[in-house]
Amino acid sequence: MSAQIIDGKEVARQRLSMLADRVAERKNKGLHTPCLAVILVGDDPASAVYVRNKKIACEKAGFESRSYEMPSETTQDELLALVDELNGNPDVDGILVQLPLPKQINSQAVLERILPHKDVDGFHPYNVGRLVVKMPLMRPCTPKGVMTLLESYGVEVEGKKAVVVGASNIVGRPQMLELLLSRATVTICHSKTRNLAEEVASADIVVAGVGIPNFVKGEWIKPGAVVIDVGINRLDDGSLCGDVEFETAKERAAMITPVPGGVGPMTIATLLENTLHAAELHD
C-alpha cells in the first residue's frame, strides 16, 4: 500500500490563513503590521524564486514585505551596513538575508550581525543556543516547519527512533534538537557515518536534508516509517526531486512528503510565524 502523502502546501495554506486572521486582529487593535525585510545579493535564479515566493506569502497573510536587491559585487561592509540600518529601523520586525551569498562575503558574519530578535530565519548562534536549552526565541524555519507537519498529521514523536540524514547548521543540527526536545531518540548521520542504510532502516521517522538527489534509497526505509524529505534538487531535465528515492520509499513508508509541495511551503509559512512573533516582541 502506498504511503499517505503529507501535503505541505495545504498545511502551509492553513497556517497562512491563521496568520492573516491574527494580523487583522492586530490592525483592529491599532498595532503595526508585521514587516519582513528580505535582502537578495546577486542574481542567482533559485534565490530570486525563493524571494518572490516569500513576498507572495507576505501578501496573502497581510504582512508588509520590503525587498533589497544588491548587485553580486556587493562588499561585505556594504551588506553589513544595510543590516545595521534594518536593525535600527523600528518598523522592520524581521530580517532575512537570502543564502547563498557571493564568495567575497562571509555568510556567518552577516547572519551574526542580525539582532537575535529580528533573526526570523533562526540562524543566529544566540537563537540556536536558546533552542539547545529549550528556551527558544526564534526557531530555525525548516526544522520548525517539519515539526508542524508531524503535529498536523498526528505523528507521535515521543519515544520514537528518529534518524536525521545531514548535519548542516540550517537543517540537520537544529532538526536533531527539535526532535530531541520532543522526546524522540535521535541519531544524526553525515558523510562519515558508517552503515548509513542500517541507521535509516532502524528509524520510525526519517528526515533527509543532504542536498543530493535520491541519496536516501527507498529500500532503506523501514516499513511503516514516516519520511520527511527536506531536499530539493533540480535535475538536468529541469525537473525537481528530493533527497529520498520517492517512488520506492512511498511503497514502504506510512507517510511521506513530496518534492515539491512538502517541506518547502512550510519553511515559508514558518518564516512568517517567526516574523509575527518578532512583531509581538516589539509591541
Q: Annotated binding site for NADP(+): which residue ranges?
A: 166-168, 232
Does 238 score more than 90 pLDDT?
no
Q: Domain 30-114 falls in which CATH fold?
A: Rossmann fold (3.40.50)
| Residue 149 grid coordinates | 507537519
For residues 79 and 252, what is the distance between their CA atoms, to the nearest angstrom?
Answer: 47
Predicted pLDDT of residue 258: 97
Predicted pLDDT of residue 1: 66
Q: Annotated binding site: which residue ranges?
A: 166-168, 232
Q: Which CATH number fits domain 139-262: 3.30.360.10, 3.30.450.90, 3.50.50.60, 3.40.50.720?
A: 3.40.50.720
Please state the domain extents for the chain: 30-114, 139-262
pLDDT digit string, tens, across residues 138-192: 999 999 999 999 999 999 999 999 999 999 999 999 999 999 999 999 999 998 9
Establish whether domains 30-114 and 139-262 are of one fold: yes
CB atoms < 10 A from the CB of 132, how many?
A: 13
CB atoms < 10 A from the CB of 37, how many?
A: 24
pLDDT digit string, tens, across residues 43-101: 888 888 889 999 999 999 999 999 999 999 999 999 999 999 999 999 999 999 999 99
Q: 201, 163 in Cβ contact below 8 A?
A: no
- C-alpha distances (whole Å) from 115 to each of 54, 56, 179 are 21, 25, 26
What average pLDDT does range 33-40 have in this prediction?
A: 98
What residues act catalytically? 54, 98, 121
Does 260 score more than 90 pLDDT?
yes
Tally helices (H) and strands (E) across the chain.
10, 11
